[in-house]
């Protein structure tokens, strides 16, 4: 009896392995197809001729039709500027919430958390008006401004700072550290995993963000990759598939390569950020 039960379990195990692989192949195939199409002429891509000759023409063509290098630079500036601002603003706010029991801190924290639900993309109409008044329409700073105070970042860092042992702070104070000395010598070094996780989540989110950048930008000098790709890929414009695939790959390549290289860190960061 036990013997048959074991074999049926073994059979189920095999079935599960096969299912896992079939699903994996199914899941990755749209992306693999796009990569394959980008390196083949659109005639071959549409007719699905697997062994047709490779070509880089699609990339050349895509680059000549739209300034993807410039878009890429814009995205890079946006993401690095935004992350720097987020880290500074969120660290200071989280430090306040974690270690200064100031009057009104609970209400203030609740008001911060509102942004977890009401994210800036929902308020595009009013925020556009505000940035127009401030003169930030069609600037990279304008894309970043509404996201610089990130409730998510404040929340994550506050949790981390709160779990830092108070004795370390006392020790640093006895050594003569002031408020910022304690922050830089004790809290920030111990929160490195949180900074890494938040950084990766923020970079992937803003590299991929589309709606707000679309609303606030209207020139080549400010458009990030996603908006450039959205403008490029408009179905009416009649560009062919392989060129669209090449343009799509150009837009996602930096982040995708970073992800493939640091897969473990990415997955763990998303997990860590989700669990907190």
Partner 1 sequence: MSRANMRHVYGWLLLMPAAILLVAFTHYPTIATIIDSFFSKGNPVRPSRFIGLDNYRLMTDDPIFWKVLANNMWFAIGTIPTSIALAIAMALMVNKALPGRSLVRMAYFTPTILPMIAVANIWLFFYTPDIGLIDQVAGLFGFSGHNWLGDPDTVLPAIIIMTIWKEAGFFMIFYLAALQQIPPELAEAARLEGASRWYYFRRVLFPLLMPTTLFVLINAVLNSFKLVDHLFVLTKGGPDNASNLLLYYIFESAFSYFDTTYAATLTVVLLGLLAFMALAQFFVLDRRVHYR
What residues between 70 and 89 interact with partner 1 by CB under 8 A?
Answer: 88-89
Helices (H) and strands (E) in the chain, counts: 16, 0
Q: Tell me, rounded to whole angstroms, the distance of Cα 124 from its chain centroid.
A: 20
- Shortest distance in whole angstroms from residue 189 CB to partner 1: 18
Any contact of residue 20 with partner 1 (CB under 8 A)?
A: yes
Q: Are 243 and 42 in contact (CB under 8 A)?
A: yes
Any contact of residue 25 with partner 1 (CB under 8 A)?
A: yes
Site size with partner 1, rule: CB under 8 A: 91
Q: Which residue shows structure tokens 């049926």?
A: 8
Any contact of residue 118 with partner 1 (CB under 8 A)?
A: yes
From candidates 3, 4, 50, 100, binder to partner 1 by CB under 8 A: 100
Q: Are 66 and 247 in contact (CB under 8 A)?
A: yes
Any contact of residue 215 with partner 1 (CB under 8 A)?
A: yes
Two tokens, residue 6: 């074991």
From candidates 66, 151, 188, 197, binder to partner 1 by CB under 8 A: 151
**Angle of the 192-208 helix axis to the 225-232 helix axis, nearest 10:** 20
Any contact of residue 12 with partner 1 (CB under 8 A)?
A: yes
From candidates 70, 211, 254, 265, binder to partner 1 by CB under 8 A: 211
The CA R_g of the chain, rounded to the nearest whole Å, is 24
Any contact of residue 233 with partner 1 (CB under 8 A)?
A: yes
Any contact of residue 230 with partner 1 (CB under 8 A)?
A: yes
From candidates 73, 81, 96, 190, binder to partner 1 by CB under 8 A: 96
Any contact of residue 11 with partner 1 (CB under 8 A)?
A: no
Any contact of residue 30 with partner 1 (CB under 8 A)?
A: yes
Output 50 or 234, the one with its CB closest to partner 1: 234
Q: Of 247, 235, 224, 221, which Cα lies nearest the Cα of 59?
A: 247
Q: Of 147, 134, 155, which Cα lies nearest the Cα of 203?
A: 147
């Amino acid at each position: 009896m036990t013997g048959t039960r074991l074999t049926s379990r073994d059979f189920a195990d095999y079935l599960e392995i096969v299912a896992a692989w079939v699903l994996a192949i199914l899941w990755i195939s749209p992306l693999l197809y796009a990569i394959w199409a980008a390196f083949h002429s659109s005639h071959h891509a549409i007719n699905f001729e697997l062994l047709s000759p490779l070509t880089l023409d699609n990339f050349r063509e895509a680059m000549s039709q739209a300034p993807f290098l410039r878009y890429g630079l814009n995205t890079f500036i946006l993401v690095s500027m935004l992350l720097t601002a987020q880290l500074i603003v969120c660290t200071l706010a989280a430090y306040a919430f974690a270690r200064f029991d100031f009057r009104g801190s609970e209400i203030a924290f609740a008001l911060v958390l509102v942004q977890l639900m009401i994210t800036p993309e929902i308020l595009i109409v009013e925020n556009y008006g505000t940035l127009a008044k401030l003169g930030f329409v069609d600037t990279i700073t304008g894309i970043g401004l509404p996201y610089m105070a990130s409730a998510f970042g404040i929340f994550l860092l506050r949790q981390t700072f709160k779990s830092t042992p108070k004795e370390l702070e006392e020790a640093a104070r006895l050594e003569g550290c002031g408020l910022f000395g304690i922050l830089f010598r004790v809290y920030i070094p111990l929160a490195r995993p949180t900074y890494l996780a938040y950084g990766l989540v923020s970079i992937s989110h803003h590299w991929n963000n589309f709606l707000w950048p679309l609303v606030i930008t209207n020139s080549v000098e400010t458009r990030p990759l996603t908006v450039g790709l959205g403008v490029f890929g408009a179905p009416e414009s009649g560009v062919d598939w392989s060129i669209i695939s090449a343009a799509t790959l150009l837009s996602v390549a930096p982040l995708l390569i970073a992800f493939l290289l640091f897969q473990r860190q990415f997955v763990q960061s998303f997990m860590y950020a989700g669990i907190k």
